[in-house]
Amino acid sequence: MPKDFIVDLVEGVQKKKSHVCVGLDPDFERIPGHIKEMAINEYGPNRRAIGEAFLNFNREIIEAVKDSVAAVKLQIAFFEEYGHWGLKALEETISFAHHKKLLTILDIKRGDIGSTAAAYSRGYLGGVNFWYGVKKKVFNADAVTLNPYLGKDSVEPFLREMEENKKGAFVLVKTSNPGSKDIQDLRLESGELLYEKVAMMVNNWGEYLVSEKVPYSQLGAVTGATFSGAAEKLRDLMPKSYLLVPGYGAQGAGPEDVIPFFNEDGLGALINASRSIIFAYEKDSYPDQHQWAARQAVEKMRTDINSALKKAGRLAWD
């Protein structure tokens, strides 16, 4: 029986009692020195060594947080900028996360049309055409992020791949960056804000992908915690969409800011933090204790969010 992203996500959140998603953004300059030195000693100061340093760092972070989260989010840009060695590290990180029973969200923010969108969807979520009519998986992520700017036909190939392979996707609706208001907050002739219109479209696109096992769709949305004032409206417009909520930690949002993104059942939101978790060791300058620091940071985040949910009467478990 194939894995079902949204069912596995809800079950993982409940099992771990955690709404936290750890973002793996392996900034080369911030990776502990001893990890980089080991890679250089083996491969020399080249791109392969950087890829190996990324992979080793990601593996150690995954080991540190695996008992506290249901999913990790990998930002492709940090891998892509180093070419094929970076992308090799990305593939192997996804594989390692799966080995540790974690779901993977590949943050690609793709949006294109026709055969191009289909190629993206096959490469990231499905299987690609191979020799002798065989199909093989490449990145094999459990979910991706999508940019809806080109319209429904840019999303449809992913919807088909999601339905066939039980995968997931999160569409950009209201992002966490300050400049998002330049376009996303434009008011339409109908009186709606642009991001509200996109939220309604996401709700409609994902309606047929609502699971029979959990009250959520395989198609979710990205909604930034830094704009918590929009959360109640977005939650009303997308009641069955799981929300991927960036902006916690390094971007300034805290536990109280994310509560409005949750449904009354205490579910429906996955709160992402990247730098504040994976580089937590920098606060105390303990480069050889980055795993310990990451584990402590993710546990604090989990506890803080659960405490805020309990106070709001939305904790999904006793």
Strand partners, 110: 146
In which element (H, E) is residue 139 found? none
Give yes or no for a contact between 103 and 9, defined as CB atoms under 8 angstroms apart. yes
Q: How many helical (H) and strand (E) elements, i.e. helices and strands, does the chain have?
A: 13, 10
Question: Which residue bears the tokens 């992002």?
Answer: 175
3-state DSSP assignment of residue 5: helix
Residue 305: count of CB within 10 angstroms of its CB:
23
pLDDT at position 1 is 39
Q: Mind listing the pLDDT tens digit of every residue in the chain (318 residues)?
A: 358 999 999 999 999 999 999 999 999 999 999 999 999 999 999 999 999 999 999 999 999 999 999 999 999 999 999 999 999 999 999 999 999 999 999 999 999 998 999 999 999 999 999 999 899 999 999 999 999 999 999 999 999 999 999 999 999 999 999 999 999 999 999 999 999 999 999 999 999 999 999 999 999 999 999 998 999 999 999 999 999 999 998 788 899 999 999 999 999 999 999 999 999 999 876 667 999 999 999 999 999 999 999 999 999 997
Give yes or no for a contact between 146 and 155, defined as CB atoms under 8 angstroms apart. yes
> 315: Cβ–Cβ under 8 A, 6 or more apart, which residues?
266, 306, 309
pLDDT at position 285 is 67
174 is catalytic: no
Give yes or no for a contact between 52 and 42, defined as CB atoms under 8 angstroms apart. yes
User: Could you give the CA distance from residue 67 to residue 69 in angstroms, rounded to a whole number?
Assistant: 6
Torsion sign (Cα): 89, 94, 100, 104: positive
Q: What's the Cα-to-Cα distance from 134 to each of 11, 70, 162, 228, 288, rounded to whole Å?
A: 32, 32, 19, 46, 45
**Residue 200: alpha-carbon gap to chain centroid:** 21
Residue 8 token pair:
């596995």
Instruction: Please count the CA atoms within 13 angstroms of the CA of 214 that sit on its side-chain side.
Output: 20
R_g (Cα) of the chain, nearest Å: 19
The structural domains of the chain, ordered by start, are 5-311 (3.20.20.70)
Catalytic member of 109, 181, 233, 300: 109
pLDDT at position 287 is 65
DSSP for 273-307, please give it: E-HHHHTGGGGTT-GGGHHHHHHHHHHHHHHHHHH
Question: Which residue bears the tokens 């029986």?
Answer: 1
24: closest CA among 85, 83, 96?
A: 96
In which element (H, E) is residue 162 found? helix 152-165
